[in-house]
Structure 1
Amino acid sequence: MSYRDVASRRVLTWALVAVAARMPVAMAPLALVFLVRERPGGYSLGAALAAAYVIGEIIGAPVLGMRLNPRRARPHLAAGLLAGAVGFAGLGAFPAAPAALLAGSAFLAGAGPAAAPGGLRALLTSLVPGHAAAQALSVESMLTFGVWAVSPATVTGLALGVGPHLPLLLAAALMAASVAGLWFLPAGWAADGPDGPERRGERVGRGASRLRVLARAWPVYVTGAAGLSLLALAELVLPALLEQRGIAVGWAGPLLTVMSVSSAIGAFLYGLRSWPGRLRTRSVVLMAGMSAAVAAVALIPGAPGIAAALAVAGLLQSGAMLTRNLSLREVLPPDALAAGYSVMYAAVGAGYAATGSLAGALLPLAAPSTAILAGVALTLVLTSVGWWGEIRAGRSAPGAGTAVPLGAAAGAEGAPVGGGGDPERRL
């Protein structure tokens, strides 16, 4: 397989804009924990602020994503990213503000740019030839995991070495820079292609009809929520778990970096070949393995063992995310994909918020290791519901759920999966 068709100046520009827009998202949860951890009930307050941030994403992603005009997306994306920059700046500028004010700023920081990941992903696939869509989305996954690899160490170093407010000010500056970068990219993308709604016998309109089209992918959204709930456990509870184990809390950043680097490697390896089995079966197997690895994090006493378990979890996480999003591209028509990505973003945010809230509620009452195991149990429940939904709903395209040669031509969104597909990641 070759990534040669993805290498272009426009894709490089897109990558710089995407990094500036996504780095704040990756930094936010851990940065919020560090921002308030020295206050009374700091870890619980940090989890609550992270939940407020993600609730903003949950609300903003579908509401704003549904309103995106594919051909004139730039002003919409710019306004959302600018609102996010204002929210991050408020958190960093007023770290001692009352909890309610901090929660409001966190909500704005999450809601404003929530449609940007889906919009940028749709824009990326318009910058490359149709047959290179699979490679483009694999590169996007590696880029995103790379951002998640760098961000924990960045947050930890700045928060502990300089000040807990500095990571949030950096997030505000990066998001503002991404707004300027949008003007170096096309203003939008084509909503229809050779395999668009007309060819597939369906046209996605506004309002209720679009909602019905998006709702057909609900099992994929549920599985997405399960996937990010494990990430919430790793990010929000890890500092408290390290303290429970007698390990310096400063190791939280490097350990999360190990997980993200492993995820980036997994995304690259997953995109190099086809994999056997139905998509839903593959997804369940990967999610079960990732859950076992995160549960091991709660039970292993030493830092090396925790690092190894996080590395395994990251390796499996990338495959689970790519498989899940491959299913989403199969179910939805091309002109609904940007909105579908936004709904997926909201769904995974819901999983993050649910697990983060559960962990925050349990931390004052139980050991961090117990909170992690409870979150793993919630993840397995969500995974089971999504798997059941996919079995019941089946697939809308013939041949769906079979092995996918990821390097095959991927221009047809609604083609049978056996003829090609587009692996990609969540954000």
Structure 2
Amino acid sequence: MYQSKLERILLMKRPTAVVVAFGLLFGLVMSPMETQAASKKTSSYQIVKTKDYSHVYSDKKHAVRLPFHAKSSKTAYMWNKQHTQKLHNLKNYQATTWFLSKSVVLKHGSHKRVYYFVKNTTNSISGYVWRGNLASGYSPKGYQIIKQKWANQSGSYYARYYGQDVKMWNYNHTKVRVHLKNFPGMNWYRTETVVMRHGNKRAVYYYVTGTLRGNGRDVGGYVWHGYLKHGKNPNHTGQNYVPIDDFQGDTDYNQFVKTAKYQKLTKAIADLFPYSKIDYNLSRIAAYNYDAADQSIMSAEDVTPVSTSGYSNIKAFPTIDRYLLKHATWSDAKKLKAVKQLLDEAGYDATKRSNMANYQIGIQIIDNVPDILGQIVANDGDGYANGYAIVIGQTDPTGNSNNNDQSFFFTD
């Protein structure tokens, strides 16, 4: 049969095409084998020995782990455990101090090397570094915390100088957390004392924390101790909530009631007793001993009642306390109207209240204060804290408290 020139060419090319196809098929079959071989090659680093350093300290008294830093500014990698992935380059962390967690002997073929597993101070970065790339001690660059103390750190502090631009820093002193002048009414609570080195200078810093404006946002950071004053802040400007124990006395507490955003109901109820004054110590007694709904003190189930010494004829109003808590979402006007009615029913009408100049008021009201994290009362609702405790009583210099209500929880 006659064949065209084109057909003859195609027939001649067929063996080549088959070989090519076979070669491609063979290549596809071999690819997984090659991948496995490559995999074995990349995982050829093996840990043959480990030594734990997690509880070895450079300063046993303060539990400070062993510090290291980059030996030079040249490239030096931090690896994952399998030594297959470069996690970080130490040349980019010249001011970072690394703390030793453990050392390992890493074998690769016939070669062995000691690697250190290190972490930064916040444990946010960690990995394995050949020990030859690390030098012992804190980094000589940047700000370095070279001593730390956590024991016996209780106590509150506040900005020593109002209006001064005092900064709260992160651990590395590279980022400002907040400016203390923006929170003049804050009580800051110390949890740590450190010695921070910068160049040849050393300074003592406190790590302090606080809840900003009582709205559930926590903040903490390092502040030079000279900018802080130990004690309870007498200024409560801008604070939505101040714990009852953080006041200094009658003047301090009354000023807060008069000016604070969430104390309008407190002031209105106190005004129902026109000639009776708000007494701070009696207010503490109300909060600790006579809150019928057990809401005025955080973790109230563990609260021990405080002494009523120095007061007599204390009268509590548990029915009012529970009623206000039940109707916490009502407007202040509606709640105040209900309080008047309940006082009348308890025998304290407007006429009697106007003749109680020899009585003081103990009152602690937490009224719909934003409490996103549940840090104000033990059982807040829908992100808002509420607690109500109202009592009246008389000061008694003799300390006679025989006529005081004795029960901690009321069941009337």
Q: When the two structures are superposed, what TM-score results if normalisation uses the length of structure 2?
A: 0.24
Q: Greater Rg, structure 1 or structure 2?
A: 2
Q: When the two structures are superposed, what TM-score results if normalisation uses the length of structure 1?
A: 0.23
Greater share of residues in strand: 2
